[in-house]
Amino acid sequence: MGPVGLWPLEGEAPQFGVAAFDSRPLFPSAAWKDWQACQATAAEGVVCPSNPTWSDIWVTNHIAQAVIAAILVIGFWLVVSARGQVVPGKRQFLGEMAYNLIRNSVARDIIGRDYHKYVPYLVALFSFILINNLFGQTFLFMFPTFSKIGFAWGLAICSWLLYNGAGIRRKGFLGYLKSATIPAGVPVWLLPLIIPLEFLSNIIVRPVTLGLRLFANLFAGHLVVMVFVVGGSWLLLSTSQSSAEWSPIWNVAGGLSLLLSFFVFAIELLVACLQAYIFTVLTAQYVASSLAQEH
């Protein structure tokens, strides 16, 4: 087989698409380069020694994407909020439209009376997820950041801290724990069964499903795109010299696959926007349930 990340040997299926999910250091150390060289030339079953430095682990292409997204989000809101006017111009109108989408349709309608204090987080959350998701359709990146599950877990933990912290601040630790685990009107004899289930559902499962939903949609979408684009390209460029089993149908199927990839990209664009909104809405709902007087 050809080295992972490079065009394969003659007649082999392409491998470079799979490598899109691999995090690569921006400034690889000598140890990393030696490991890559070993991986490319080692015989099957041989384990190459790996001794990466901290920069190989933490200064990677995907972490750089997240940092760039954060810079873009901060820059966008600084630009659209600068020199605000009573009659907004195009730039201010764009910012107000995006802000009001989250403020009114998410924070105010879902959280209720005390929604103001949570608007900044929800706006930043929506903006950050959206930009990272759109990286999957951006030619300089072509990879949605949240198809790496660690980033999705990070945001899920932030939301988990927010809604639990809001509930504890409102009701106190024991009061919040009671409201989160004991639904109103439940008979006493059912409490030994209900309390563990409610604790598992509200405290443990919520952040897990929140992160998994975002990750799974972006991962699956990017995987489908790779199947159509990478597989279609290989089939389209296949010739009778590259395989003894070659058929013109391969080329036709490859061309159709590439055409269908545009449709898949359009669906991915919709999913990118939808998942950013869903994650934000669910976070607001969890905050609202934590603040509610009765569970």
pLDDT digit string (tens) for the chain, length 295 residues? 333 333 343 344 444 455 677 888 888 888 888 888 887 787 777 788 878 888 888 888 899 999 999 999 999 999 988 877 777 778 888 889 999 999 999 999 999 888 999 999 999 999 999 999 999 888 888 899 999 999 999 999 999 999 999 999 999 999 999 988 888 888 888 888 999 999 998 899 999 999 999 999 999 998 888 888 888 888 887 765 555 566 778 788 888 888 888 898 899 999 999 999 999 999 999 999 999 876 4
Question: What pLDDT score does 102 carry?
Answer: 94
CA-only gyration radius of the chain, Å: 24
Q: Give every CB contact of residue 289 below 8 A, 6+ residues apart in sequence.
A: 163, 202, 295
Question: What pLDDT score does 122 carry?
Answer: 96
Cβ pair 118, 107 in contact under 8 A = yes
Question: What pLDDT score does 247 carry?
Answer: 72
Report which residue type is found at 135.
Answer: F
Give the separation between CA 115 and CA 106, rounded to whole angstroms.
Answer: 9
In the chain, alpha helices (H): 30-41, 54-58, 61-81, 90-102, 119-134, 149-171, 173-181, 191-199, 206-237, 248-291
Report which residue type is found at 155.
Answer: L
Token pair 């509200």 is found at: 202
Question: What pLDDT score does 11 carry?
Answer: 42
